[in-house]
Each structure stands twice: as C-alpha cells, then as structure tokens.
Amino acid sequence: MAANGCIRIKLYMNHQVISKEEIALAHERIRRFIHRTPVLRSSFLDNLTGAELFFKPENFQKIGAFKARGGLNALLSLSTEELLHGVTTHSSGNHAQAIAFAAAMVGAKAYIVMPENSPKVKIKAVEGYGAEITFCINSQEERERAVQEIILRTGAAFVHPFNNYHVIAGQATASKELFEDVGKSLDVVIAPVGGGGLLAGTALGAHYFSPETSVYAGEPEGAADAILSFKSGNIEKAPYVKTIADGLLTTLGDKTFPVIRAHVTDILAVSDEEITQAMRYLWERMKIVVEPSGAVSLAAVLKNSALFSGKRVGIILSGGNVDLGNLPF
C-alpha cells in the first residue's frame, strides 16, 4: 500500500498535471457547443472479433472530428482579454476547422495558417466559420513563420493541436462520455495516436472515470513514432512516414507523451490495408463515414482479436472528414 501510494504520488508529480476536476470542468464548459455523440453497436463486428464493441463515433462531432472538443476547451480557457486579440494556429486538417469553429462559438477572431495545397473542402469549411486564412508553402518552417508573423501583428494566442493541456483535457471528454453512456464498465478503450492529444485525453478519461479500463492505441505502421517512443522512453521520430491515415503523421509532444507512458497498456501497429479494411466495414456495415485515421482503432482490434475476444471494448472513431472523390475503395 505504501509503495503503491508512493508510485501514485510520483506519477501525479510527473504526469498528472491535468486533474479529474479539470476534465469535468472542460466537459461543463464545452457541453453546450458540442454533440454528445451516441454509442453505436454492430452485431456483425461483435461476431467477427468475439468481443463486445462499443463505438464512440466522433465523426458525428461538430466539424466532423473530436478536435472540436479540445479546440473549444482551449479557447474557453483563455481570458476575455486574450480572446480580444484572437487565436491562431496552423493546420491543413481537422484542427484548422476546430479552431475556426471554436472561435466562431466564443466570438473571437481566428487566424488560420493553411498550406496552399490543402483540400478545397477544408479551406471552404474554415472560411465558412469566418476565419481569416493565410496560405503558405507546406513546410513546418513556413507554417511556423506565418504563425509567428500573425502573433506579432495581432497578439493572437497560439493554440497547439495537441501539445496543450487544455486541448488534452477537452479530448478527454470523449472517453468520459463513452464510460458514462455504456453504463456497464469497459475492459478496454482504444484510440488512434498521432500527436497524442486524443490518446492522452482518452487515457486520463479512463484513469479518472473508469480506472478498471485498460487503454490501448492503434497506430499506422507508416507513422510508427509512438510505438518507438513507447518502447524507448524518449520521443522518437517515425522511421518513415507513408500512410493513408493522414491525420496521424505527427510526432508525440512533451505534454502528451508522459501521460501516454503512464497510462497506456500498449500501442498496436496496423498496415494501410488493415486500415482500409476496417474503414470498409465501418462504411458498409455500420453505414458511417469514417476517415482512414478514424478507422485505425478498429483495425487494431480486428488484427488483434485474440487479445480483445471476450472483452467489452470501447472504440473511439476519431473523425469522418474524407474526400469522397479520393476513396481507397
């Protein structure tokens, strides 16, 4: 007991910078702006895996992905003074929409840096929320330089897509809802991992609201930085980056990685073929539009069904923003 107490205290010192109360507060803050996404079941996929699967379809979330949660919590955590200067970020994907949407909700100006080759549908969506878009060449350096210029010019607050405690606390509300809505306790919850915002949030959600639940992650083989980092104990880069799951290309951050190390049981690699098969099941059998990144958790469960068979498994489907003109099937 004493030893356990010690370990727990040490974990809290090192990694538990986000408290249970902060996640509950995040949920209260964002509740009126987001969808409480339902829990979906599929007898076909239950039979296929031998598990009881409980899907949390965040593809139905505002802006089509869980990122609306973290973006909103981050903006609602800023002071009125800070919000007066607006917010800024760089993203070609769901985070751009999340910040543009959240800014519209709280009445702040959003300055979004987007690579000039971003999909038109995403540019239109960001414009639709009234954000000011700055286009740049698609390199990390150019994106960051453009954001720096905006900050100097406007005083806008920068909101990182995942390496931000308010963002992580916001993402934690997805698994919190899942635990509340399934009713019975889950043996496992699984989320995809890119930068680790959703996974760290899911892990903290389980830690505080369903401590009997083990946390797993799915990661594309073609962006396997988190698996490497999880093994080595240091934040590593992926050996190569080439995957259909274009929302999971980024490397873990120093705020997400410690939470993941402390609370995640394992990270499971899946190939693009396995992601595409999982996506096809979600579309054909469950009739829901899920993007490749969003199908990674199911792909990991399908691939490792021996591990999950007989268990009650929560599966977080992260998003559904996909170009219908460019499908893998």
Which uninterrupted H or E stretch holds 110? strand 110-115
Query: Minimal distance in Å, beta carbon 259 to a copy of itself?
Result: 28
Token pair listed for 294: 């969003």
Rounded Cα distance, 196 and 255, in Å: 9
* Residue 176, phi then psi, degrees to nearest 5: -55, -45
Closest CA to 162 of 216, 217, 123, 201: 201
Of the candidate spans 2-10, 106-114, 261-269, 287-295, the one that interacts with a copy of itself by CB under 8 A turns out to be 287-295
DSSP for residue 72? H
Of the candidate spans 89-97, 166-174, 206-214, 280-288, the one that interacts with a copy of itself by CB under 8 A turns out to be 280-288
Query: Minimal distance in Å, beta carbon 101 to a copy of itself?
Result: 11
Binds a copy of itself (CB under 8 A): choice among 6, 7, 9, 121: 121
Q: Which is nearer to a copy of itself, 38 or 310 (CB)?
A: 38
Query: Minimal distance in Å, beta carbon 47 to a copy of itself?
Result: 10
Region label for 238, one of left (φ > 0), alpha (ψ between -120 and 50) or beta (otherwise): beta
Size of the site for a copy of itself (CB under 8 A): 20
CA 92 to chain centre: 15
* Residue 287, phi then psi, degrees to nearest 5: 60, 35
Of the listed 56, 67, 122, 176, which one is catalytic? 67
Amino acid 51 reads: A
Binds a copy of itself (CB under 8 A): choice among 290, 296, 298, 315: 290
Binds a copy of itself (CB under 8 A): choice among 33, 55, 60, 257: 60
Amino acid 208 reads: Y
Is residue 286 close enough to count as binding a copy of itself by CB under 8 A?
yes
Residues 62-101 that bind a copy of itself (CB under 8 A): 64
Is residue 57 close enough to count as binding a copy of itself by CB under 8 A?
yes
Based on the residue annotation, tell me whether 92 is a catalytic residue of this protein: yes
Of the listed 92, 118, 297, 318, which one is catalytic? 92
Amino acid 20 reads: K
Of the candidate spans 15-23, 73-81, 302-310, 318-326, the one that interacts with a copy of itself by CB under 8 A turns out to be 318-326
Burial class from Cβ neighbours inside 10 Å (0-12, 13-18, 19+) for residue 312 reads middle
Rounded Cα distance, 173 and 202, in Å: 8
Could you list the active site residues?
67, 92
Q: Using CB under 8 A, list all residues that contact a copy of itself.
A: 38, 40, 57, 59-60, 64, 121, 280, 283-284, 286-290, 320, 324-325, 327, 329
